[in-house]
Amino acid sequence: MPVLPATHSGITKAVQALLEGLPVGMPTETVYGLACDARSDMAVARVFAAKGRPSFNPLIVHVDSLASAQSLVEFDPLSLQLAQRFWPGPLTLVLKRRAECPISWLVSAGLDTLALRVPNHPVALQLLAAAAIPLAAPSANPSGRLSPTQANHVQLQDSDVEVLDGGPCAVGVESSVVRVVDGRAWLLRPGGLARADIEQVTGPLASPSTLDGLEPETNQPYAQGSAPQHSPGQLLAHYAPSRPLRLDAREVAENEALLAFGRHVLPGAGAVLNLSESGDVTEAAANLFAYLRTLDREPFQAIAVMPIPHEGLGEAICDRLRRAAVGAALAADR
């Protein structure tokens, strides 16, 4: 895919493409997004098509400021506190669309809510300022595969899509998705902002793993088995490399590559990448997708993954690994 430098002329070119209704690869602090004009049905449809994304899975809208977000959605007091505290940053808030909200209904996948965030990346903020439109952007990977954390990891069917190069993503896992319902905050997707940080503002977070999801439209619990999960995109199989993943490995088989964590690396693997030698989960998150990508190769038949603690960004890492393991198993079945 053509890569644009994050210079004045690169950004001008990207803006031109966006205003013509074309998708553009955009760096953020979490992962690279496939951005488009969020108001245009045609542009949004192109993004769904480029990813092969199921249309029931809504997109995140990126804006340059809280004030811009407030023109699109209604903020309850707790969501407002979260935005004031954590934006720009890796937190996405799901909020009710205003009646006059100009965002394409495809973005919301027919729900009356919108997921929004202000990304904390200078190139994304420059692009938002220069384009002066809200940008819908899912992660820039084919649906179900690993998210890109570098410009050259953006690989889509449509090879004409230009990608703005903002360097490697500092956070490395997607944003945390939060929704407040009747004053209670739900963590719909663990991500780049740790649970403990969010809970400083919200108190204990409810989550679809502790309680079954709420139906977004009615705020009623989903009928048993009727919907994937509270956050519609949180399908169990996701973020997958093409080789099987074996989680919580205590030893390594001969044909396995090893994704290690911490100082005491399991012996015997033909290839080892260590997410963090010092056992730092924040560093591990930043390396996660790029390392999985690198280990997903011949002559290995599988990737063994050492246990990773659930604290801090470890919760998001373990969530992604669990989904990647299911996704890889399904891919192997096909």
Contact positions toward ligand TXA, by CB under 6 A?
28, 30-31, 33, 57-60, 92, 94, 108, 111, 113-115, 119, 137-139, 174-175, 177, 188-189, 216, 231-234
Which of the choices ligand TXA, Mg ion, none does residue 240 contact, using the CB cut-off of 5 to 8 A by kind?
none
Q: What angle do CA 210, 211, 213 make, to 5 degrees?
A: 125
Backbone angles phi, psi at 247, to 5 degrees: -85, 160
Q: How far is the CB of 243 from ligand TXA (least distance, A)?
A: 22
Nearer to ligand TXA, 110 or 268 (CB): 110
Nearer to Mg ion, 139 or 207 (CB): 139
- Work out whether 30 is an interface residue with Mg ion (CB under 5 A): no
Nearer to ligand TXA, 47 or 259 (CB): 47
Question: Of residues 131-190, which lie at the interface with Mg ion (CB under 5 A)?
Answer: 139
The Cβ-side half-sphere exposure at 268, using a 13 Å CA radius, reads 11
Cis peptide before 299 (omega within 30 of 0): yes
What DSSP assignment string belongs to 268-281? --SSEEES-TT--H
Edge-to-edge order in the sheet of strand 245-246: 245-246, 302-305, 256-260, 272-274
- Total of residues contacting Mg ion (CB under 5 A): 1
Q: How far is the CB of 253 from ligand TXA (least distance, A)?
A: 32
Number of H helices, E strands in the chain: 8, 15
Which of the choices ligand TXA, Mg ion, none does residue 146 contact, using the CB cut-off of 5 to 8 A by kind?
none
Nearer to Mg ion, 31 or 259 (CB): 31
Buried b (16+ CB within 10 A) or exposed e, 112-122: ebbbbbbbbbe
Torsion of CA 123, 7, 146, 119, to 10 degrees: 10
Q: Of all residues in this chain, which one has the CB nearest to ligand TXA in the complex?
A: 233
CB of 232 closer than 8 Å to CB of 57: yes
Q: By CB neighbour count within 10 A (0-12 exposed, 13-18 middle, 19+ buried), where does 238 fall?
A: buried
Cis peptide before 88 (omega within 30 of 0): yes
Which of the choices Mg ion, ligand TXA, none does residue 258 contact, using the CB cut-off of 5 to 8 A by kind?
none
Q: How far is the CB of 140 from Mg ion (least distance, A)?
A: 9
Q: How far is the CB of 233 from ligand TXA (least distance, A)?
A: 3
181 membership: H or E segment, kind and range: strand 176-181
Nearer to ligand TXA, 10 or 33 (CB): 33
Q: How far is the CB of 209 from ligand TXA (least distance, A)?
A: 14
Nearer to ligand TXA, 118 or 269 (CB): 118
Q: How far is the CB of 311 from ligand TXA (least distance, A)?
A: 20
Q: How far is the CB of 324 from ligand TXA (least distance, A)?
A: 14
Binding mask 287-306 for Mg ion (x = CB under 5 A): --------------------
Nearer to Mg ion, 108 or 139 (CB): 139
Q: Any bridge partners for residue 303, and if so which?
A: 245, 257
Nearer to ligand TXA, 19 or 227 (CB): 227
Residue with tokens 């989960």: 281
Q: How far is the CB of 141 from Mg ion (least distance, A)?
A: 6
Buried b (16+ CB within 10 A) or exposed e, 7-27: eeebbebbbebbeeebbbbbb
Residue numbers at the binding site for Mg ion (CB under 5 A): 139
